[in-house]
């Protein structure tokens, strides 16, 4: 195999010194070490027959590969018939293309990993940031940095005659990045753990209204836990939530299950419960958290709004 045939990275197009190393492997192909995409393997056949496809999805494969490299040095093995399977297998890593925030989370996570102290400045080539954010090109990357700046998450600017980006995390960005690092993401989703039946519709609607008013997206999965599918969906949503609102009224098992799961992930929680008549009074156990008591729907809206304002540092 003539190694010098490969003059640019098949994923990102990097050439020259950015294409660090190409070695032929025992399987019919190469191991490529690219400054932007990390180390991956690709068959000769894939390079020849998938050019168009790689043009289209190269930035996604590059992002996946970088993440794999950072987890126990795993890497992608690209063959023409494995590309679709790779996209499917690693779908959970790839930010939704219409969700800016998921891409920003990837950048924040990277910036936090690469810095050891708050305000530390990091400079790197633009092309190196692109796959980290799963950005399609430098324009999208600029947009993501502008957005983070607008939200007071980072400062940034071009350096080295516009070839590099210099950036540092600001206070809100540092805090958020620490939370993302701990395995919980989510900028704006708020999971509502509450008992549902006809009598609680108004309560749920009121919680949703407050959450929405404060710029968050309310996630509410109706029904008790009847199926594994619902459990999985709920836990998945909690994992991605900025915080969880737990209405303990009714002392339902599923509500405590969700609360315990969120607690284990170190997700902020706001506990509320409806004031009970004396004969139904019971103790609410929330550890060191306060459970906010509400009398009716209107009262709930007021106390919930103030509790979120106090407890959740970064709102939109
Ligand atoms: Zn590359």
Q: What is the mean pLDDT of the chain?
A: 86
The reported pLDDT for the residue numbered 92 is 75
> Is 284 within 8 Å of 273 (Cβ atoms)?
yes
DSSP structure class, residue 121: -
The tens digit of pLDDT for each residue in 268-295 reads 899 999 887 665 566 666 666 788 999 9
Is 100-181 a domain of CATH 1.20.1090.10? Answer: no
CATH topology of domain 189-311: Rossmann fold (3.40.50)
Q: Where in the chain is the domain with CATH 1.10.10.10?
A: 100-181
| Residue listed under structure tokens 């009074």 | 281
- How far apart, in Å, do the first and last CA atoms of the chain sit? 54
Residue 61 reports pLDDT greater than 90: yes
Quote the ligand 1 centre to 147 CA distance (angstroms).
25
The tens digit of pLDDT for each residue in 188-228 reads 789 999 887 777 789 999 999 999 888 788 988 876 556 77
The reported pLDDT for the residue numbered 141 is 96
Quote the ligand 1 centre to 261 CA distance (angstroms).
39
The reported pLDDT for the residue numbered 57 is 94
In 220-262, DSSP assigns E strands to 243-247
The reported pLDDT for the residue numbered 15 is 87
The reported pLDDT for the residue numbered 1 is 44
Quote the ligand 1 centre to 280 CA distance (angstroms).
64
The tens digit of pLDDT for each residue in 18-58 reads 887 888 876 688 999 999 999 999 999 999 999 999 999 99
The reported pLDDT for the residue numbered 148 is 95
Quote the ligand 1 centre to 111 CA distance (angstroms).
20
Q: Where in the chain is the domain with CATH 3.40.50.10140?
A: 189-311
Quote the ligand 1 centre to 9 CA distance (angstroms).
5
| Dist. CA 88–CA 237, nearest whole Å | 20
Q: Percent of the chain, pLDDT > 70?
A: 89
Quote the ligand 1 centre to 148 CA distance (angstroms).
25
Quote the ligand 1 centre to 291 CA distance (angstroms).
51
Q: Percent of the chain, pLDDT > 90?
A: 47
Quote the ligand 1 centre to 177 CA distance (angstroms).
26
| Dist. CA 244–CA 219, nearest whole Å | 9
Quote the ligand 1 centre to 172 CA distance (angstroms).
31
Quote the ligand 1 centre to 18 CA distance (angstroms).
8
3-state secondary structure at position 181? helix
3-state secondary structure at position 153? coil
Query: Residue 310, class by beta-carbon neighbours within 10 Å (0-12 exposed, 13-18 middle, 19+ buried)?
Result: exposed
The reported pLDDT for the residue numbered 182 is 62
The helix or strand, by DSSP H or E, that contains position 293, with its residue range, turns out to be strand 291-294
């Amino acid at each position: 195999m003539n190694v010098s045939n490969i003059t640019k990275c098949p994923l990102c197009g990097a050439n020259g010194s950015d294409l660090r190393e190409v070695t032929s492997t025992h399987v019919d192909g190469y191991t490529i070490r690219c400054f932007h995409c990390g180390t991956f393997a690709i068959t000769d056949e894939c390079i020849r027959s998938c050019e168009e496809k790689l043009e289209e999805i190269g930035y996604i494969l590059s992002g996946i590969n970088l993440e794999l490299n950072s987890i126990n040095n795993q890497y992608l093995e690209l063959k023409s018939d494995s590309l679709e399977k790779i996209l499917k297998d690693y779908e959970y890593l790839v930010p939704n293309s219409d969700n800016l925030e998921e891409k920003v989370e990837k950048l924040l996570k990277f910036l936090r990993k690469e810095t050891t102290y708050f305000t530390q400045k990091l400079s790197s080539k633009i092309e190196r940031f692109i796959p980290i954010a799963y950005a399609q090109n430098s324009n999208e990357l600029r947009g993501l940095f502008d957005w983070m700046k607008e939200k007071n998450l980072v400062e940034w600017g071009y350096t080295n005659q516009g070839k590099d980006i210099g950036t540092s995390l600001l206070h809100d960005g540092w805090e958020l990045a620490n939370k993302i690092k701990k395995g919980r993401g989510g900028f704006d989703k708020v999971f509502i753990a509450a008992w549902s039946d006809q009598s609680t519709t108004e309560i749920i609607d009121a919680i949703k209204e407050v959450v929405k008013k404060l710029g968050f997206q309310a996630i509410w999965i109706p029904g008790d836990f009847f199926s594994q599918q619902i459990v999985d969906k709920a836990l998945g949503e909690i994992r991605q939530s900025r915080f969880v609102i737990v209405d303990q009224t009714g002392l339902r098992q599923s509500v405590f299950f969700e609360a315990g799961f969120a607690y284990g992930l170190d997700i902020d929680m706001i506990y509320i419960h409806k004031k009970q008549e004396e004969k139904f009074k019971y103790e609410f156990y929330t550890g060191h958290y306060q459970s906010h008591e509400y009398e009716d729907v209107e009262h709930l809206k007021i106390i919930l709004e103030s509790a979120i304002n106090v407890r959740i540092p970064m709102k939109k």
